[in-house]
Amino acid sequence: MGFFERLKSAASAEWRAYSEHPFTEAMADGSLPEAAFRHYLVQDYLFLIEFARAYALAVYKSPNLADMREAASGVSAILDVEMNLHIKLCAGWGLSAADLEHAPPAVEMLAYTRYVLDAGMRGDLLALKVALAPCVIGYAEIAARLATRPNASAVTNPYSVWIAEYAGAPYQDVAEKTRTHLEGLADRYATPAREAELIAIFGEATRLEADFWEMGWRVGRR
């Protein structure tokens, strides 16, 4: 069993609550209230800004040039590609760039991103990448699963674009490269003595990811 699979197995309850959250299930069948998705989109934009900071921290934490280049490419992908795609997606939901930039951050967004940055500040590059893994790799797994649902790609499903973006080959490739890099870091730095520490980081980051879905889910149920 690979390192990432061991993390998922050890935090199986948290992973299930995150990857099978009702928010994701409702995207697959198109039943998610629009207010829930719009709220999620705004907070995800703010999250991407903090995510870029985490990858910038990964550059600093990198022990060699190869790791630095991998982290730097992540910063560039977020700032130069993913944020523009996100703004375009939000525009389709009636959200302007100004709406996104001036939105107040939700407690759940702050809790998650501050945890990731703190894990990176206190630990090494492996600890930071473990904290980031539920998002980067998790979105690919979630979207790939949702894409197999009967109504996921239906023209009438307003969330088909989101599912297609993360289930598509470009993002799946990003997630696979992230996973491969994580496995390489684990081979170098994941000693048996650190296993419990890394599992705890992964479990907490996964729980906070589930809270991010729950944030939008609550808005939709008001």
Q: How far is CA 70 from CA 33, 109, 123, 182, in A?
A: 37, 25, 18, 11
- Give every CB contact of residue 141 below 8 A, 6+ residues apart in sequence: 19, 175
Reduced to 3 states (helix: H, G, I; strand: E, B; else coil), residue 151 is coil
**Active centre residues (catalytic):** 135, 209
Tokens for 124, please give them: 């090494």
Rounded to a whole number, what is the distance in angstroms from the first to the last CA of the chain?
A: 42
Tell me which H or E stretch contains 117: helix 107-122
- Give every CB contact of residue 115 below 8 A, 6+ residues apart in sequence: 131, 204, 205, 208
The one-letter amino acid at 184: G
